Amino acid sequence: MEMVNVKVNGIAVSVPKGSTILEAARQAGVEIPTLCYLKDINEIGACRICVVEATGARGLVTACVYPVAEGMEIQTNTARVQKARKTTLELILSTHEKKCLSCERSTNCELQKMCKDYGVEDSGKYDGDRPVYELDKSTAHLVRDNNKCILCRRCVAVCRQQYVSVIGANDRGIDTHIACAFDKPLGDVPCVSCGQCVAVCPTGALVDTDSTTPVWEALADPTKHVVVSTAPSIRATLGEAFGMPIGTNVEGKMVAALRRLGFAKVFDTDFAADLTIVEEANEFVQRVQNKGVLPMITSCSPGWVKFAEYYYPDQLDHLSSCKSPQQMCGAVIKTYYAQKMGIDPKDIVNVSVMPCTAKKFECGRDDQNAAGVADIDHVITTRELARMIDRAGIKFDLLPDEEFDAPLGDDTGAAVIFGATGGVMEAALRTANDWLTEKDNKDVEFHEVRGTDGLKEATYNIAGMEVKVAVASGIANANYIMDQIKSGTAPWHFVEIMCCPGGCVNGGGQPIQPASVRNFTDLKALRAKALYDQDEAMTLRKSHESPVIKKLYEEFFDDGIGGHKAHHCLHTTYVARKKFK
């Protein structure tokens, strides 16, 4: 690899040819501020915050896109540079709604931090015309507030990366704003609710639709039995909201915090992930043995399901009819648990903590009411749970480790890895392998489907049959898979698709990490490692071995896996959606 030698603030560094000044500075231990830049996603040099001085360049240059050259000397903090950055921040503030005290992103806002660092106040220096926008509350999962938008275009870029591209820059000059074509509400276009735009927004222009208020109200209602369940990936990410290293497994403290918030029971959605695998693996085996529609595609990711309904409505018979773990969990709580506890399902308030903003949409879908009432009442994201913990004054890092409430808090390693791309596939393969070979296979790891790559393929010999599988994360890769299926050239038998790149560990509802972290840290890999480490340490690593699942079928779904009772409670249907309203 050809290297280039440069100096950053007098510090000599050697970097690969083609590196940017931003990357060279990072290697020298210098962090250059950015607002628009996201590595490999939004590299446009638009915000001008990252300007520096460099020999051989005319004037100030943007460090995020300007390549280094042999012998270049770079100055990142001269008086000229600092003045330019401060002026840019003042100009940004001149059209920014400065309601920081009530903003959801206060203290975790990249613009706010930068203004503090550079001593920028609301001086009115550049006051003038400031457009005023109405909030877009047309979707179940987010609120757009263009009054706080700084036109960094990160959301536009990540929506394009997700192969949806339903937002862009409208109008020109002072009237430029981010919106859908013809300024349609977001709820009237084929947005898949992935929330990746929220995760990368540097300010409070994009935030979750608030579900904490109704949860607080339910917790205060003595007539309601309020229970909560957490998705597999939450344990690997929640700690970040409290300053813990990325990839820290905080399962025990998370359970303790939820109890202190006042939930009557704290369950683990992982048990429902095991249930999903048992039903899904059975469905796959039945399709293989009875020449059903193949490849079968997983249906755990509601953003992916919504994408399929919008863009591939003629291919919906490929999707597994299984509900997602969230919805299965809710269905079991409102039926089996309610029956065991002698509680009217109408009096149970079912709250789920999810890494995914699309789950807010999913809980309101049709055919998600096994007990005649909604399977899930409220969905809060990892971020919303963190805010509730803060509001309650709970000192998260000082909490003891506590365990989920049994039996709906017990799981296997197969369920834990659901949160990472490839995890659903591996969990299903562990069970399908045992069932098709009719033996207890000791080798339970399928490494070929692991890793953060957006597209993975593998072939396994199971019971003398070659089983070809594919794993895709990110909608662009889902589109590639679906094009092959639609054309009839797909070689696979079983396909896992997750809407968010890297899977649920990188979901749109996960803790916000600033660009300074996202650009230089593999969040997906570090978070996923926490899940695989927990799986490896567990005694039970196959979903069908779970005592909870066995007992559930003995006591409640007594006509067996895939039987009528299970199908009524645990399976669902899909609809062809119109792209525009």
Residues 479-503 pLDDT 10s:
999 999 999 999 999 999 999 999 9
Looking at residue 405, what DSSP letter applies?
Answer: P
Could you tell me if residue 395 is inside a domain?
yes
- pLDDT tens for residues 210-237? 999 999 999 999 999 999 999 999 999 9
DSSP secondary structure of 39-102: TTTB----S-TTEEEETTSSS-EETTTPBP-TT-EEESS-HHHHHHHHHHHHHHHTTS---GGG
Return the CATH number at 20: 3.10.20.740
Which residue, among 141, 77, 180, 502, has the nearest Cα to 302 in the 3D structure? 141
Of all residues in the chain, what percent carry a pLDDT higher than 90?
Answer: 96
**In 3-state terms, what secondary structure has residue 459?**
strand
Which residue, among 223, 483, 455, 467, has the nearest Cα to 344 in the 3D structure? 223
Reported confidence tier of residue 166, pLDDT bands at 50, 70, 90: very high
Residues 94-100, mean pLDDT to the nearest whole number = 93
Same domain for 148 and 86 = no
Residue 154 half-sphere exposure toward CB, CA atoms < 13 A: 26
Which residue, among 499, 517, 496, 516, has the nearest Cα to 508 in the 3D structure? 499
Structure tokens at 29: 């231990």
Using the predicted structure, report yes or no on whether residue 125 has a pLDDT greater than 90: no
Residue 255 half-sphere exposure toward CB, CA atoms < 13 A: 18
Whole domain around residue 377: which residue ranges?
A: 213-570
- Please report, for residues 36, 60, 108, 513, 515, the alpha-carbon distance to residue 111 in angstroms, rounded to integers and kept in the order given: 11, 21, 9, 13, 11
Estimate the share of the chain in helix, then strand, then coil, as percent rounded to the nearest 5: 40, 15, 45
Distance CA 428, CA 425 (A): 5
- Whether the CB-CB separation of 426 and 450 falls below 8 Å is answered with yes
Same domain for 60 and 196 = no
Non-local (6+) Cβ contacts of 429 within 8 A are 446, 449, 460, 467, 469
Could you tell me if residue 410 is inside a domain?
yes
Same domain for 257 and 199 = no
Reported confidence tier of residue 182, pLDDT bands at 50, 70, 90: very high
- Please report, for residues 245, 422, 444, 528, 537, the alpha-carbon distance to residue 531 in angstroms, rounded to integers and kept in the order given: 15, 12, 15, 5, 10
Could you tell me if residue 237 is inside a domain?
yes
Could you tell me if residue 363 is inside a domain?
yes
Could you tell me if residue 578 is inside a domain?
no
Strand order in 265-268's β-sheet? Answer: 265-268, 225-230, 348-354, 378-381
Pick left, alpha or beta for residue 243 (phi over 0 → left; psi -120 to 50 → alpha; otherwise beta): left
> Of the residues 146, 175, 208, which one is the last residue of a structural domain?
208
- Whether the CB-CB separation of 238 and 382 falls below 8 Å is answered with yes
Structure tokens at 384: 């919303």
- Whether the CB-CB separation of 523 and 506 falls below 8 Å is answered with yes
Q: Token match 């978070």: residue?
A: 527
Using the predicted structure, report yes or no on whether residue 29 has a pLDDT greater than 80: yes
**Cα 74 from chain centroid (whole Å):** 37
- Whether the CB-CB separation of 147 and 132 falls below 8 Å is answered with yes
Same domain for 135 and 44 = no
Could you tell me if residue 576 is inside a domain?
no
Return the CATH number at 358: 3.40.50.1780
Same domain for 252 and 161 = no
Using the predicted structure, report yes or no on whether residue 124 has a pLDDT greater than 80: no
- pLDDT tens for residues 517-536? 999 999 999 999 999 999 99
Residues 396-420, mean pLDDT to the nearest whole number = 97
Which residue, among 285, 271, 309, has the nearest Cα to 499 in the 3D structure? 309
- Whether the CB-CB separation of 233 and 505 falls below 8 Å is answered with yes
One-letter identity of residue 179: A
Number of domains in the chain: 3
> Of the residues 190, 208, 226, which one is the last residue of a structural domain?
208
Using the predicted structure, report yes or no on whether residue 579 has a pLDDT greater than 90: no
Return the CATH number at 170: 3.30.70.20
By DSSP bridging, strand 465-473 and strand 494-498 are: parallel
Looking at residue 47, what DSSP letter applies?
Answer: S
Could you tell me if residue 240 is inside a domain?
yes
Is 442 exposed, middle or buried, given 0-12, 13-18 or 19+ CB atoms closer than 10 A? exposed
Same domain for 299 and 257 = yes
What's residue 122's pLDDT? 77
Same domain for 235 and 178 = no
- Whether the CB-CB separation of 298 and 279 falls below 8 Å is answered with no
What's residue 279's pLDDT? 97
Could you tell me if residue 575 is inside a domain?
no
Which phi and psi (to 5°) does residue 10 adopt? 85, -5
Reported confidence tier of residue 62, pLDDT bands at 50, 70, 90: very high
> Of the residues 161, 179, 208, which one is the last residue of a structural domain?
208
Of all residues in the chain, what percent carry a pLDDT higher than 70?
Answer: 100
- Give, to the nearest 10 degrees, the angle between helix 475-487 and helix 302-311: 50
Same domain for 117 and 53 = no
What's residue 2's pLDDT? 93
Distance CA 529, CA 524 (A): 9
Is 168 exposed, middle or buried, given 0-12, 13-18 or 19+ CB atoms closer than 10 A? middle
Residue 351 half-sphere exposure toward CB, CA atoms < 13 A: 27
Same domain for 531 and 446 = yes
Same domain for 372 and 344 = yes
Same domain for 522 and 470 = yes
Mean pLDDT estimate for the chain:
96
Same domain for 134 and 26 = no
- Whether the CB-CB separation of 154 and 269 falls below 8 Å is answered with no
Distance CA 368, CA 156 (A): 32
Looking at residue 421, what DSSP letter applies?
Answer: T
